[in-house]
Structure 1
Amino acid sequence: MEELGESVCLATDFRPSDGEVTLNTRDGRVHKNTSSAAVSPRDKTWFYAGFTNETLYSCELHGASANNHQLEMCAELHPDKSKLNTVLLLMNGVRVILTKAVAFSTVFTIRAILL
């Protein structure tokens, strides 16, 4: 059994199932046969994950290719800010609840005075 590598190329929504994924690495090209690809029962398209132990720069299948230039965008994510966003979302929820409570209290007070 082949061990999973540190890089993966995920090919999705392709037809036909027979083909070859080309993984472009630092040391050259690695070719993987897609005959063991999984089929989506809903779309009747194929999915294949090609693993390699080398650094993956791009991958190609049936003339379509993708590269890892988007990795720089992922490096800009700040998980610390997600905690801040959660706190801000919670504060806004509390504000909505308190605003509703004040509004209902006002309506009930006016109703009690008029009756």
Structure 2
Amino acid sequence: MSPLLPEGWMGKAPDSLGPDVCLAAGFRPQVGEMVLNLKNGSVALNTSSAALSRIQNKYFFAGFTNETMFSCELHGASSDNDNIDRCADLHPEKAKLNFYLLQMNSVRVVFTKALAFNTILTIRAVLF
């Protein structure tokens, strides 16, 4: 994971922003090697100091590097910087459509309850 930059940011070069991070969450056993794939090769980090989660009884480990990280792997699972672009798949116009559909269904429920209540009152008034 690379640091996020504010929109229109015109500061330092991306390599000088600070460490890139690879976070491994929910793995077991504790001992293993996290491999960080960098521009100039790869770095292996020992996960023997990984923290244990009390809730899940699994381990968490963060691997840091000051160089640009392209991917990382641990226990056969890997991740790369292409995962950052998944946010581009979100469609806010669909959320707006879903909100309108939710409003329409709410109005239908209110009108149906009003119709049922009015029908019951009318039948009661006619019979009694």
Cα distance per residue 1:42-67 (max 9 Å; x no partner): 332101233455243x32212x1223
- The residue that corresponds to 1:66 in the other structure is 78
Runs of 4 or more, structure 1, over 6 Å off, are: none
- The residue that corresponds to 2:88 in the other structure is 75
Contact 2:36 2:69 in 1 (8 A): no
Say which is worse superposed, 102-111 or 31-40, in terms of deviation.
31-40
Query: Secondary structure, in 3 states, of the residue corresponding to 1:17?
Result: coil
| CA distance, structure 2, for counterparts of residue 72 and residue 25 of structure 1 | 19
- Tell me, which stretches of 5 or more residues in structure 1 are unaligned? none
2:68 pairs, out of 54, 58, 63, with: 54
TM-score, L = length of structure 2: 0.65
Sequence identity percentage:
52
> Are 2:39 and 1:17 aligned?
no
* Deviation of 1:70 (Å): 5.1
Query: Secondary structure, in 3 states, of the residue corresponding to 1:85?
Result: helix
Query: Secondary structure, in 3 states, of the residue corresponding to 1:22?
Result: strand
| CA distance, structure 2, for counterparts of residue 37 and residue 85 of structure 1 | 42
Contact 1:5 1:51 in 2 (8 A): no
> Are 2:99 and 1:86 aligned?
yes
- Tell me, which stretches of 5 or more residues in structure 2 are unaligned? 4-19
- Counterparts in 2 of 1:49 and 1:96: CA distance versus 1, 3 Å: farther
- The residue that corresponds to 2:44 in the other structure is 31
- Counterparts in 2 of 1:95 and 1:50: CA distance versus 1, 3 Å: farther
- The residue that corresponds to 1:42 in the other structure is 55
Query: Secondary structure, in 3 states, of the residue corresponding to 1:41?
Result: coil
| CA distance, structure 1, for counterparts of residue 40 and residue 98 of structure 2 | 42
| CA distance, structure 2, for counterparts of residue 90 and residue 26 of structure 1 | 51
Root mean square deviation of aligned Cα: 2.7
| CA distance, structure 2, for counterparts of residue 78 and residue 8 of structure 1 | 28
